[in-house]
């Protein structure tokens, strides 16, 4: 006689619940990671510089061939001052890729002007190195607010003027050092001439003394 199949759904469910689950089963095995990742130090090239400006903005460059403005990227524009040389450079990276879209020094000749009556934008010329080679570029930058644009222009202007004073101080220091070197050279020359004259006088005195002694010897010999 054939056995009767279990058709009670509640009993069937109870059997499934009581059955050991593969997910709950602890095998005691330890799974080691396939690849071990090591911490890598990332350098940005900004380690020896102090930030003096940090503002979110959108940067454009003027395409001379197409006679139009082209977007360079959206990100943060920074002014970074070198801890040793005191030189300041403008750096901007795209926010998502961190690709450099502007990288140049703030020189005494740099001047930032308002862009076509837009008080949130300004323009300037610079010799830029963002693409790995020096290029003369015309940049335009737009900020979320008028205050940020004003802050950018004022700080860049202050930096440019301070860089100009630093250059003047360096020139003055170099000129003073050159003048001092010339004075020292003249002084050394005078000392050399004086020493030569003293040596000549001593030599002449020694010769005169030798001649006088020789004359005395001759006179003594004649008297004898």
The torsion angle over the Cα atoms of residues 46, 49, 52 and 55, rounded to 10 degrees, is 0
Select 49-165's CATH number: 3.40.50.300, 2.40.50.180, 2.30.29.30, 3.40.50.2000: 2.30.29.30
How far from 105 is each of 82, 84, 89, 189, CA to CA, in Å?
Answer: 11, 15, 4, 44
What is the tens place of the pLDDT at every residue in 110-136? 999 999 889 999 999 999 999 999 999
3-class SS at 202? Answer: helix
Domain extents for the chain?
49-165
HSE-CB at 140 with a 13 A cutoff on CA atoms is 17
Q: What is the DSSP string of 103-122?
A: EEE--TT---EEETTEEEEE
Q: Which residue has the higher pLDDT, 55 or 1?
A: 55
When pLDDT is averaged across residues 161-182 and rounded to a whole number, the result is 70
Question: Does the reported pTM lie above 0.85?
Answer: no
Q: Is the pLDDT of residue 153 over 50?
A: yes
Q: Is the pLDDT of residue 105 over 60?
A: yes
- Report the mean per-residue pLDDT for the chain: 81
Q: Which residue has the higher pLDDT, 9 or 61?
A: 61
pLDDT at 193: 63
For residue 218 the two structure tokens come to 């001759």
When pLDDT is averaged across residues 18-26 and rounded to a whole number, the result is 55
Residues in the chain: 224
pLDDT at 45: 81
Q: Is the pLDDT of residue 34 over 80?
A: no
Helix-, strand-, coil-residue percentages of the chain, each rounded to 5? 40, 30, 30
- Going by pLDDT thresholds of 50, 70 and 90, the confidence category of residue 67 is very high
Closest alpha carbon to 96 in 73, 77, 79: 73
pLDDT at 174: 58
Q: Which residue has the higher pLDDT, 179 or 37?
A: 37
């Amino acid at each position: 006689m054939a056995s009767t199949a279990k058709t009670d759904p509640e009993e069937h469910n109870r059997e499934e619940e009581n059955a050991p689950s593969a997910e709950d089963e602890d095998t005691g095995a330890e799974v080691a990671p396939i690849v071990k990742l090591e911490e890598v130090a990332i350098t940005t090239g900004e380690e020896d510089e102090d930030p003096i400006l940090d503002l979110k903005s959108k940067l454009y460059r003027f395409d001379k061939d197409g006679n139009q403005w082209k977007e360079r990227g959206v990100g943060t524009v920074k002014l970074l001052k070198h801890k040793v040389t005191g030189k300041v450079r403008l750096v901007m990276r795209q926010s998502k890729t961190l690709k450099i879209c502007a990288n140049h020094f703030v020189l005494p000749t740099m001047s930032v002007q308002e862009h076509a009556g837009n008080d949130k934008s300004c323009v300037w010329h610079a010799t830029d190195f963002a693409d790995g080679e020096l290029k003369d570029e015309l940049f335009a930058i737009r900020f979320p607010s008028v205050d940020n644009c004003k802050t950018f222009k004022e700080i860049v202007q202050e930096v440019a003027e301070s860089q100009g004073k630093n250059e003047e101080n360096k020139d003055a220091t170099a000129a003073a050092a050159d003048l001092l070197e010339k004075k020292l050279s003249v002084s050394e020359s005078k000392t050399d001439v004086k020493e030569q004259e003293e040596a000549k006088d001593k030599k002449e005195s020694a010769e005169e003394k030798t001649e006088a002694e020789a004359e005395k010897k001759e006179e003594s010999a004649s008297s004898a």
